Amino acid sequence: MHSDRRTLLMKRLNKVGTYAFLTLLLLIVLFPTVWVVGQAFMPEEQILKWPVQIIPREPTLDNFIEIFTTKLSRQELSLFRWLFNSLYVTTLSAIGVLLVTSMAGYAFARLRFPGKQLLFFGLGASFLVPGVMLLIPSFMLMRALGWIDTHHALIWPPLAGFFGVFFMRQFFLAIPSELAEAAVIDGASAFGIYWRVFLPLSRPAVATLGIFTFLFIWNDFTWPLVVLNSDEMRTLPVGLVVFLGEYWSYQGIVMAGAVVSSAPVLIVYIIFQRQITRAVMATGFGGR
């Protein structure tokens, strides 16, 4: 009896400890975020106060107006240009990745052809090649193609990534073959079965892969830094770092830039958090 009450007490204490720990972690994650957003809406005089201010006393949009209207370089660009570049490159590349890798994934999942196993593992071996080893050869390839400082350099190379093939294959494998057989009897061609049966059925997988690709390309830093060198071509993350060099002393403007740059990915994340979480847990890939 006595020991029962003790274990119950222990259990309660453990629960309290668990929540205390998680709340601490949550605050560590949230606090810098709140501070950044606060500073983005703060007039510069308040930012300069010590100790650090968290909540803007007179919230202002000045910092945002400044980054969107000021000419950021000799070419007279505004942040809109980089926002547009990022959206453009990311969207085109993601569509390409979805088309190309879902077709390859379909072949590996549903069609029989000689050399399939060997090919799958051969392509999969590309997972083992570290990114840093590809940096210089890929740069030289872009030079040879005349793609330095063009958006081609950002749009096309992601289509070679094996993750999409692997991911779509897993999903296509799980679709019952009765559906495909029905389509064959209805006289559908091989492409018709893929396009009208399998692709619509795998809408959740396509969406998840699309989100992963979007996040990956949107957030990439090293590659666009290497292959793009004019201000008007840059993507937002790189542009932000370059631009902030000039505005480094105005903290409110810097923070407004950080907010503008992360808003799109955070919105995508919050809308699709369930799919993202599930895909990360199932595949072991983190979306970056």
Partner 1 sequence: MKSIPAATDSGRSSNWALTNKRREALAGYLFLAPYLVFFLVFLAGPVISAFVTAFVEWELLRGTYRFIGLENFQLIMEDDLFWIAMGNSLYFALMTTAGNVVVALCAALALKSIRLGHTLFRVVMYAPVVLSISVIGIIFSRLLAPFGLLNAGLELLGHKGFDYLADPNLVLPSLSLTTIWWGFGFPMLIFLAALYAVPEALYEAARIDGAGRRQILWRVTLPLIRPALLFIIVTQFIAHIQVFGQPYIMTNGGGPGYSSYTIVLHIYRNAFSYYHMGYAGAMALSLGVVMFVFALAQFRLLGRYTEY
State in angstroms the smallest separation of the CB of 138 from partner 1. 5
Q: Please, what is the angle between helix 203-219 and helix 163-173, to 10°?
A: 170
Site for partner 1, residues 8 to 67, rule: CB under 8 A = 14-15, 18-19, 21-22, 25-26, 28-32, 35-36, 50-52
- Under rule CB under 8 A, how many of the chain's residues touch partner 1? 95
Query: For residue 157, what are its two tokens?
Result: 């190379």
191 neighbors 111 (Cβ within 8 angstroms) = no
Note if the bond before 51 is cis, omega within 30 degrees: yes
Which runs of consecutive H residues, i.e. helices, occur in the chain?
2-40, 44-47, 62-69, 79-110, 116-124, 131-145, 152-155, 163-173, 177-185, 190-192, 199-201, 203-219, 222-227, 236-247, 251-271, 273-283
State in angstroms the smallest separation of the CB of 4 from partner 1. 14
Residue number with CB closer to partner 1 (77 or 86) = 86
Which of 68, 88, 162, 250 forms a contact with partner 1 (CB under 8 A)?
A: 162
Query: For residue 169, what are its two tokens?
Result: 């294959």
Q: What is the DSSP letter of 28?
A: H
Show the CA angle centred on residue 80, arms to residues 75 and 84, nearest 5°: 105
State in angstroms the smallest separation of the CB of 41 from partner 1. 15
State in angstroms the smallest separation of the CB of 226 from partner 1. 6
Which of 3, 117, 131, 203 forms a contact with partner 1 (CB under 8 A)?
A: 131
Establish if 82 lies at the interface with partner 1 (CB under 8 A). no
Show the site string, 92-111: x = touches partner 1 by CB under 8 A, - = not. -------xxx-xx-xxx--x
State in angstroms the smallest separation of the CB of 265 from partner 1. 5
Establish if 126 lies at the interface with partner 1 (CB under 8 A). yes
Show the site string, 218-247: x = touches partner 1 by CB under 8 A, - = not. xxxxx--xx----------xx-xx--x---
Site for partner 1, residues 170 to 199, rule: CB under 8 A = 184-185, 187, 189-191, 194
Establish if 200 lies at the interface with partner 1 (CB under 8 A). no
Distance CA 129, CA 50 (A): 48
Query: For residue 11, what are its two tokens?
Result: 């259990």
